[in-house]
Amino acid sequence: MTKQSKEEFEKAAGGLVWRETGQGRQLLLIHRERYDDWSLPKGKLEPGESWPQAAQREVAEETGLAITFLEFAGVTTYYHARRPKVVLFWNMAVSGAAEVDTVGDQDQPEVDRLLWVDAGEAAERLTYPSERALVAQNWAVHP
């Protein structure tokens, strides 16, 4: 595999992880201490990895949860370290119990908190406008 040139964009993938509760639908957010932000689980593609494979791996690494794909959720784009970055997201459901509430995968040092939220709290907590818009769009389509 050749090294990416500065002109190419960075590729990443992630998920909008949903669960149904007695209080309604909830979305999983992650907190990263390094950036002091609340965001959706996501990360860079590894060499030879497809976008969906990366999304599944990143969600598992950052949350410790097994997921099932629902459908494609959308794309966000932004600049990171002066390079364009494209992130493809999928709607996902938790496979099995989703009782995790505060801490993700203990082997993942990047994420220090997990939080299940409703639509209003997602809009308030998410740090990045592009992720807020993506969540709002998907919440409206899949209430």
Q: pLDDT tens across 119-137, in order?
A: 999 999 999 999 999 999 9
Structural domain includes residue 126: yes
Structural domain includes residue 120: yes
Q: Structural domain tally of the chain? A: 1
Q: Residue 129 is inside which H or E element, if any?
A: helix 129-141
Structural domain includes residue 90: yes
**pLDDT (tens place) for every residue of the chain, 143 residues total:** 445 555 589 999 999 999 999 989 999 999 999 999 999 999 999 999 999 999 999 999 999 999 999 999 999 999 888 889 999 999 999 987 655 554 444 555 789 999 999 999 999 999 999 999 999 999 887 65
Q: Token pair for residue 36?
A: 């002091």
Tell me the torsion sign for CA atoms 108, 89, 28, 71.
negative
Output the pLDDT for position 110.
87
Write the single-letter amino acid at 73.
A
C-alpha distances out from residue 32 to 8, 36, 90, 113, Å? 26, 6, 20, 7
Structural domain includes residue 45: yes
Structural domain includes residue 21: yes
Domain that holds residue 115: 10-141
| Phi-psi group of 64: left, alpha or beta (phi > 0 → left; psi -120 to 50 → alpha; rest → beta) | left
Output the pLDDT for position 64.
92
Question: Distance (Å, rounded) from C-alpha 108 to C-alpha 110?
Answer: 6
Question: Distance (Å, rounded) from C-alpha 51 to C-alpha 7?
Answer: 20
CATH number of the domain to which 78 belongs: 3.90.79.10
Output the pLDDT for position 142.
63
Structural domain includes residue 1: no
Output the pLDDT for position 13.
98
